[in-house]
Amino acid sequence: LFRSHCSAVLQCLVPGEGERYIMADPWQECMDHAIAVARNAGTEICKALKNERTVMLKSSPADLVTETDQKVEKMIISSIKEKFPSHSFIGEESVAAGEGCVLSDNPTWIIDPIDGTTNFVHRFPFVAVSIGFTVNKKIEFGVVYSCVEDKMYTGRKGKGAFCNGEKLQVSGQKDITQSLIVTELGSDRSPEVIKVVLSNMERLLCIPVHGVRAVGTAAVNMCLVATGGADAYFEMGIHCWDMAAAAVIVSEAGGVVTDVTGGEFDLMSRRIITASSSAIAKSIAKVLQIIPLERDDGKKED
């Protein structure tokens, strides 16, 4: 017989032995809520796709935001805050509006309400709700809902990765010359950055690799690595809300997640490689030219 003691502990009554306390899963309730909220947000996004959209610019002429981005983020944060009022939040549109981007040890929800806003604006059918959750600055779980496709990707530290309930497994490819790579051109339109982005693609194509693809959403790109449909994804210039959820999905599908230098992944660094194997990740890191970036947390790179 069990009776609830708190969200993380169950009080167990054992006949003849009195009471025992056992640890339950402290974050499953959070993950279940994240899935429900992501699905509701996806419904709102799919409705909005049928209507006219008001488009605004952020950091560049290619860095877009819509009223739907802002509305959906408010909806997600409001729902989570109501249930978990002591938790912290980092949201793409909240940061754009001037809120800080601080990753603390407190349970923290890292939210991109529409990953693939440019796709959304053009009705290109790859847009996703991305919700990552960290504790002690480590990613506990991630939820990515590719709402037009109705694909719910989930990953929980130590418990595997799934899409619509089906277990995910990376391709396991180790030979870079046999690989399909996913990346993006990014939203920075400065000539010096574009030159490096195109040069990096050229370097990979000349290895050679089988091909390079771009879907238009970092979270879905990474989830494609988790499914085995692509063998690697890399990008520089994205943000923690683009990476948090999908990074754990890739790692739980058996993939590797590293920095673009080949070193340890840093969620606030704005750069990432996810791959089907460490061999592929190292092969990519070896040829990449690094783009200097300001970190999400404002700290200086070593």
What residues are labeled active site? 92, 112, 114-115, 117, 242
HSE-CB at 78 with a 13 A cutoff on CA atoms is: 8
Q: Tokens 């488009």 correspond to what residue?
A: 55
* Distance (Å, whole) CA 211 – CA 160: 28
Tell which phi-psi region holds residue 207, choosing left (phi > 0), alpha (psi between -120 and 50) or beta: alpha
* Distance (Å, whole) CA 228 – CA 201: 21
Instruction: Identify any residues that bridge with 160 across adjacent strands, giving them in sequence order.
Output: 156
- CB within 8 Å of 225: residues ≥ 6 apart: 170, 182, 231, 232, 233, 250, 253, 255, 274, 275, 276
